[in-house]
Amino acid sequence: MIATDPSREQIAAAEPHAHVEYRCEPAEASTLDTGSVDLAVAAQAAHWFDWPRYVAEVERVARPGALVALVSYGILIVEGDAGREIAHYYRDVVGPYWPPGRKHVENGYRDLAWPWPSVDAPAIAMTAQWTRDELVGYVTTWSATVKLIDKVGPAPFEEFRARLAAVWPDEGSRTVTWPLTLRLARR
């Protein structure tokens, strides 16, 4: 979760927007009407989809000319030694515990092919100012961290935490950046 995101309690307490229809359905099999969508967005989710079925569903529900978008963020970036420790943990320590679909996130969804013409997207990034503890809390939410701890116990994670503390000893905040992938196509 990004520090600026609303909490689950805030989301649950929020009033539904009058012009938004809310549904919880599989992306590959919605109950949306055929040709009823002007914008289809999958944010941090396409790597979990049955891709051929998802593309067929978007083809069905999107109007001709609709914009189709995939949004994703990969490994975070922190400058200096802290960034190197995070990259080492991501790649070498929990790397084997990421699910196979993670490769799509890491390659910017490049091998998820659209049958429609691509639309150029700007290069953008998401940033936050985090303390070391906030960053460590985020790393605990990674599915690979959870699997690592389930399989071998907390020692490798605790070693990461100690190595990060050695290169980021204070509780000052640092800029954390996630380069965003935006893959766009015109139906």
This prediction's pTM? 0.77
Model confidence pLDDT, tens digit, residues 88-123? 999 999 999 998 888 998 888 888 999 999 999 988
Number of domains in the chain: 1
Which DSSP helix (H) or strand (E) runs through 160?
A: helix 155-167
Residue ranges making up the domain that contains 93: 8-186
In 3D, which of 86, 89, 43, 109 has the Cα closest to residue 175? Answer: 86
Model confidence pLDDT, tens digit, residues 43-70? 989 988 999 999 999 999 999 999 999 9
Tokens representing 49 are: 């989809």
Concatenate the DSSP letters of all residues of 76-116 into one string: -B--HHHHHHHHHIIIIISGGGS-TTHHHHHTTTTTS--SS
Q: Could you tell me if residue 3 is inside a domain?
A: no
CATH number of the domain that residue 142 is part of: 3.40.50.150
Q: Which residue has the tokens 């929020």?
A: 14
Residue 13 CA to residue 23 CA, distance in Å, equals 17
